[in-house]
Amino acid sequence: MNEPINKLALAAMAGCILLASLGISVTTVALPTLASFLSTSIQQVQWVVLAYLVSLTVAIVSAGRMGDLYGSRRMLLSALVLFTLASIVCAVAPNMGWLIVGRVGQGLAAAVLMALPMSLAKSLVAKERMGAVMGLLGTMSAIGTALGPSLGGGLIDLLGWRSIFILLLMCGLGMLAIAVMGIPKDKKLATRTARMDWAGSLWLCLALLFFSLAATGGKVGMVIPIWMLLASAAIALAAFVGFEMRATHPLIPLALLGNRALASSLSMNLIVSATMMSTLVVGPFYLAFGLGLSELVTGVVMAVGPAAAALSGVPAGQLTDRFGTGRILLAGLALATAGLICFALLPIRIGIPGYVVALILTTPGFQLFLAANNTAAMTSAPDAQRGMVSGLVGLSRNLGFMTGASLIPLLFATLLGDQAVALSSSSAVGEAFSHTFLLAAASFGLAMVTFFIGKKLQPSMPILSTHQGINHD
């Protein structure tokens, strides 16, 4: 544990996060081309993105648990093989149906690629360097998200839409080679007493699937009413809890969720992730209709956020190692709150400079929070359950993203009133934007309260019983 980490292993962990993030963002610019080429509607073609996101969200906890049981290296290599094969399906897809099948395969693989690098870091990285590695993983996620649209747009212009999936195929093969060489082999144990909780995994996946469809259904032409999806999610979640209470080898030991340190970490992650979406989903409306910017200028202004995230991720991790998770987590929440207040006050007064200042404050605040929160969650996770805990961290982030993407635009539209945003005056758009971000800043106050509640129980989470998880790494 005290030996320097293998650089190839570090490259493999960072590259897996980058690949999974790139798989989300690189396809977004292809949607208009796909709608035209495959003669399909906008509502249908959005499932090229949603199939990936929903599959990733549904599978991420089970993926982390399988890493605990069957070995992180083995699962990571299997996921890279699946991602590569699914990329081939996407690249040669003759119609929308096959393309969505390929994207589901990529999303299931991405669940492993997102969950297990943090788990591997727990076993391969010295505790005093965990923050720096978590910051690096956060940087890779930001780079993948920022790089995707521009890279995908350039490839589509030059070589057509299939080239973006060929790119993902080649990246998958490259990462497979790096992972084979860099990640140490899983340590074998003489006996294995734990088993995968397939019944619990099924019920959790169903609950997450119904919730994910409800969170996105209003925008993709779902024929099932949202209330019915939410009711189905609640029923499936209740069944999951019932199964877990009786399971000999539960997917998620429910008593572990009663640990206040872990519960507060997951709750804060969900709140912060939901709020992060406000800059992505509401910001473009204000820039376009409040400030009257063109698409090009809007894109340039919005790019400040990912650029700041990419630059601040590693320093955020280094600060976490130096000053501790608690101080940096609180500093990140405070800085991001200041940035959200600046969003509410500055753009309506000084325009683009005010928006940029708010981004430069908010985004590093997010990165400080993420580096410290992820480090705290993983360093306190039991070795035998680190993959599962990593999956829960990823799940809380994804649920936050989906919840924010649904609720924050609804809040903005409600504040705007009955008038459509395109027909509203710039002052009305600015006022609705300002109030939206004041409420977003208030939600960070809730996150701070959650932090202080969880801080009272910060020690390591105990393994609940010997049969609930066996570490194979």
pLDDT, tens digit, 9 for 90 and up, residues 178-236: 999 988 886 654 345 667 778 888 888 888 888 877 876 655 555 677 778 888 889 98
Q: Among residues of the chain, what percentage have pLDDT more than 90? A: 19
pLDDT at 353: 93
Burial of 50 (0-12, 13-18, 19+ CB in 10 A): buried
- Report the chain's mean pLDDT, rounded to a whole number: 81
43-57: average pLDDT: 82
114-129: average pLDDT: 81
Which part of the chain has CATH 1.20.1250.20? 1-184, 253-460
**Res. 470: pLDDT tops 60:** no
165-181: average pLDDT: 93
The 8 Å CB, 24+ separation contacts for 207-211 are: 207/233, 207/234, 207/236, 207/237, 207/240, 208/57, 208/58, 208/233, 208/395, 208/399, 209/54, 209/58, 210/236, 211/399, 211/402
**Res. 241: pLDDT tops 90:** no
pLDDT at 469: 40
**Res. 91: pLDDT tops 70:** yes
Question: For 253-460, which CATH class?
Answer: mainly alpha
What confidence category does residue 242 fall into, taking pLDDT thresholds of 50, 70 and 90? confident
What confidence category does residue 462 fall into, taking pLDDT thresholds of 50, 70 and 90? very low
pLDDT at 282: 81
Q: Side-chain half-sphere of 418: how many Cα atoms within 13 Å? A: 0
Q: Say how far apart CA 283 and CA 412 lie, in whole Å.
A: 10
Burial of 190 (0-12, 13-18, 19+ CB in 10 A): exposed
What confidence category does residue 466 fall into, taking pLDDT thresholds of 50, 70 and 90? very low
126-144: average pLDDT: 82
**Res. 259: pLDDT tops 80:** no
User: Has domain 1-184 been given CATH number 2.40.30.10?
Assistant: no
